[in-house]
Amino acid sequence: MRPPRRHRWLPAFWLALAFGGWIALVRLEIADLQDAFETDARIAHRLLSQRAVQHDAILATLALLQPPDSPEAGAQRLPALYPQILSVQRRDAGAAWPDAALAAAEAQSRALRRAVLADADFAAGRYRLVRAAQPASFAAQFDLRKLVPWPEWPMDPQRSPVAVRLEQGGQRFTLQPGGDAGGPWSFDFRKHLETDSQPFDVVLQRSVGWAELPWQRMVLWGLLVALLAAAVHWLLRQRAERARAEELLRLGQVARLDALGELAAGMAHELNQPLAAVLASAQAARRLLDEEPADVDTARTAMRQAEEQARRAASVLARLRRGVERPSAAAPLQPVVLQDAVRNALYLLEPEFSKRAVAPQFEAGAEALAVQAEPVALEQIIHNLLTNALQALDQVPPNERQLSVRLQSQAGQGELTVGDSGPGIAPELLPRIFEPFFTTRENGLGLGLSLCETLAANMGGHIGVQARSPRGAAFTLRLPLAA
């Protein structure tokens, strides 16, 4: 099992997903604002064009009806009916216009047979149209400020951020001031009025500021993505914890089987000697009985039976020992990277380190250190050494707990050293630390280190222990380097 990487990619995942959503929300908002701007622009252009066409119609009506030139005439009542008309002038046949602009416009109107712009003073907010006719021609002056039909206007002239103006010949007249939001987005609209007599451009402009972005939806999206990232993190963590528990369970099962094998092997070793003594005694008794005159035949038979039973017991123990031999002892060796094995063991014991407030220090070179080993047996050894170190650290205050794992190569062997700052091992006990059933712990079986030594020996390695200064112990596992 390879320890999973920390979920360092989750912040990047959250940032990428949130940033993508924010871009989409901003683009949608900008598109909506642009659609609304273009709709308002088309409506404004249509309303202003209708007014301009209305002006042409008014002058055409005057030219056609030829109202009498008197104060009560219909032409003089037009400003009351149309507020944008400031005044109406009339030139009868033989009379002259008060200025040359009107005269020139009349001549052009006569040629074009439509109303013609005489002049436009955007600074004063006025312009004049002339319509040539017989027997009298008419001129009307219009107020640009009253050109807009505000009841039908699609925007609030005081609050709308859209600026609206008329442009003609370098002049500009502002109908609606709008505002500069100072943002990086802007929309523009420009189109001529739908009449040739009033060649004005209708210009609309709008800028979109940062404050107009959908911040509330963006914050909600960020929170939603954060919740999603948290859920993914929780699921990955649950999966990692489950995998860690399964690995520990497997390692524990293997360790128990190996401990059982070590126990059986120890029992066989311990019982073989007394059984051999019984066998020798029985053989001696048989020889002595052979020299006595008493019931020699019966004694001989009994001793023979005892001898047979002893041999049978020895045979049973031998079979038991063969039956409980560790399968891993015959497992093929293969190159195993010590760094990976140590990291895996540290990962599996991470909850134990956290519970004891121990921060293990792992020292290893930059290059992979591969040894010839059986992977499961190597995991068992490292796991046992780390567990023993943690149990030793339980006996010292938390602020004095130190645990280190150091890897190095020396003389064709890979060395793994696990050191702790626990109470250490008494010098007189060091030679016995790997004996079966020898333990310094109150409830220990004394088989863990013995098992480690056996496993190391089966892999062609060796395990040793030494005291640390000023306190603690260091176990060193040496295994042949992989070719």
Kindly state whether residues 74 and 198 are assigned to the same domain.
yes
Higher pLDDT, 250 or 402: 402
Per-residue pLDDT for 287 more than 90? no
Band of pLDDT at residue 299, cut at 50, 70 and 90: low
Question: What per-residue confidence (pLDDT) applies to 39?
Answer: 96
Domain final residue, candidates 212, 230, 259: 212
Q: What is the pLDDT of residue 273?
A: 56
Query: Do residues 302 and 171 both lie within one domain?
Result: no
What pLDDT, on the 0 to 100 scale, is given for residue 66? 82
**pLDDT the model gives residue 419:** 93
Q: How confident is the model at residue 67 (pLDDT cuts 50, 70, 90)?
A: confident
Q: Tens digit of pLDDT for each residue in 8-54?
A: 777 888 889 899 999 999 999 999 999 999 999 999 999 999 999 99
Q: What is the mean pLDDT of the chain?
A: 84
pLDDT digits (tens, 9 = 90+) for 307-348: 666 665 666 566 556 655 555 445 688 999 999 999 888 888
User: Which residue range is the domain that position 400 belongs to?
Assistant: 334-480
**230 domain-assigned:** no
What the block records as the tokens of 113 is 């047979």
> Is residue 361 domain-resident?
yes
- What Rg, from alpha-carbon coordinates, does the chain have? 52
Here the CATH number for the domain that contains residue 278 is 1.10.287
Q: Are residues 147 and 292 in the same domain?
A: no
Structure tokens at 39: 């709709």
> So what's the pLDDT on residue 198?
94
CA distance 373 to 204: 80
- Same domain flag for 164 and 257: no
Whether 233 is covered by a domain: the verdict is: no
Q: Is 338 in the same domain as 319?
A: no
Residue 373 sits in a domain whose CATH number is 3.30.565.10
DSSP labels, 261-284 = HHHHHHHHHHHHHHHHHHHHHHHH
Q: Is 192 among the domain residues? A: yes
Residues 163 and 285 in one domain: no
pLDDT of residue 376: 81
Mean pLDDT of 107-121: 94
pLDDT of res. 112: 94
Q: In this predicted structure, what is the pLDDT of residue 48?
A: 96
Give the CA distances from residue 345 to residues 312, 372, 452, 474, in Å, rounded to whole numbers and listed in that order. 44, 18, 15, 17
Instruction: Summarize pLDDT for 431-444 with one digit per residue, the tens.
Output: 778 876 667 666 66
Is the whole model's pTM more than 0.95, yes or no? no
Contact 60, 112 (CB under 8 A): no
**Is residue 64 in a domain?**
yes
Same domain, 179 and 248: no
Q: Helix 338-348 vs helix 215-291: angle between axes, to the nearest 10 degrees?
A: 100
pLDDT for 179 beyond 70: yes
| Same-domain status, 167 and 270 | no
At residue 117, does pLDDT exceed 90?
yes
344 and 443 both lie in a single domain: yes
Same domain, 62 and 202: yes
Last residue of a domain, one of 300, 324, 348: 324
Quick check: is 3 in a domain?
no
**What does the pLDDT read at residue 306?**
63
Q: pLDDT band for 304, please (50, 70, 90 cuts).
A: low
How many folded domains does the chain comprise?
3
- Tell me, yes or no, whether 408 and 426 share the same domain: yes
Tokens 């020139």 correspond to what residue?
A: 104
Dmax over CA atoms of the chain, in Å, equals 185
Reported as a single tens digit per residue, the pLDDT across 80-112 is 788 899 999 999 988 999 999 999 999 999 999
Q: Where are the beta strands (DSSP E) in 162-253?
A: 163-168, 171-176, 185-192, 201-208
In degrees and rounded to multiples of 5, residue 435 shows phi and psi of -70, 140
Whether residue 329 is contained in a domain is answered as no
Do 29 and 111 sit in the same domain of this protein? yes
User: Per-residue pLDDT averaged across 240-266, rounded?
Assistant: 76
2 located within any domain: no
pLDDT at 261: 72
Domain boundary residue, one of 324, 354, 383 = 324
Q: Higher confidence at residue 8 or residue 191?
A: 191
Say yes or no to pLDDT of 269 above 70: no
- Cis omega before residue 135 (within 30°)? yes
